[in-house]
């Protein structure tokens, strides 16, 4: 009866179809990935990308060396805000919207959390980078 389970196991795990993305060349941190930067190789490694479409246009957060698998945790949205860049701080609560000038203390893409210094008060706040490059600041709970 155990011999009936063997064909079932072979259909569930097909190592010939498993693929992993690797770096074609050494990719420095802050590199936006293009189609010439990655290649598919046979094998499956947990936590790594296996589809070219999911990594194209994303930015490397760390250096990825040639031939190494590309982990999804090492990629992020392309940075919109750079360190020391002047940004607009926005606080909104219902119809009230307050804006202030700030200076980014880190890099970040849309949806990333960055620290920003309010230029007028020199207070450091934590905010989320918006698509337009401004930083949304929430009130403390």
Taking only the tens of pLDDT, the chain with its 141 residues reads 444 444 444 444 455 567 899 999 999 999 999 999 999 898 888 889 888 898 999 999 999 999 999 999 999 889 999 999 999 999 988 899 999 999 999 999 999 999 999 999 999 999 999 999 999 997 644
Residue in 69, 17, 19 with CA at minimum distance from that of residue 48: 69
User: What CATH architecture applies to the domain 2-76?
Assistant: Alpha-Beta Complex (3.90)
Q: Where are the alpha helices (DSSP H) in the chain?
A: 5-12
What's the pTM value of the predicted model, to 2 decimals? 0.66
The CA distances from residue 124 to 29, 52, 107, 121, in Å, are 26, 39, 15, 9
Residue span(s) of the chain under CATH 2.30.30.760 come to 79-137
CATH architecture classification, 79-137 = Roll (2.30)
Half-sphere exposure of 17 (CA within 13 A, CB side): 5
CA geometry: angle 67, 112, 21, nearest 5 deg: 20
Residues of the chain with CATH 3.90.1210.10: 2-76
The per-residue pLDDT for 2 is 47
Q: How high is the pLDDT of residue 107?
A: 92
Nearest alpha carbon to residue 91 among 52, 130, 34: 130
The torsion of the CA quartet 104, 108, 109, 112, rounded to 10 degrees, works out to: -100
DSSP character for 24? S
């Amino acid at each position: 009866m155990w011999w009936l389970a063997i064909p079932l196991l072979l259909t569930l795990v097909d190592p010939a179809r498993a693929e992993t993305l690797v770096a074609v060349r050494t990719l420095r941190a802050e590199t936006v990935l293009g189609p010439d930067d990655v290649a598919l190789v046979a094998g499956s490694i947990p936590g790594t990308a296996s589809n070219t479409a999911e990594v194209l246009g994303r930015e490397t957060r760390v250096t990825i060396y040639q031939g190494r698998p590309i982990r999804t945790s090492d990629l992020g949205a392309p940075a919109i805000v750079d360190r020391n860049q002047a940004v607009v701080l926005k606080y909104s609560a219902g119809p009230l919207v307050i804006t202030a000038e700030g200076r980014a203390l880190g890099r970040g893409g849309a949806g990333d959390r960055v620290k920003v210094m309010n230029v007028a008060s020199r207070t450091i706040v934590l905010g989320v980078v918006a698509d337009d490059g401004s930083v949304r600041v929430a009130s403390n709970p």
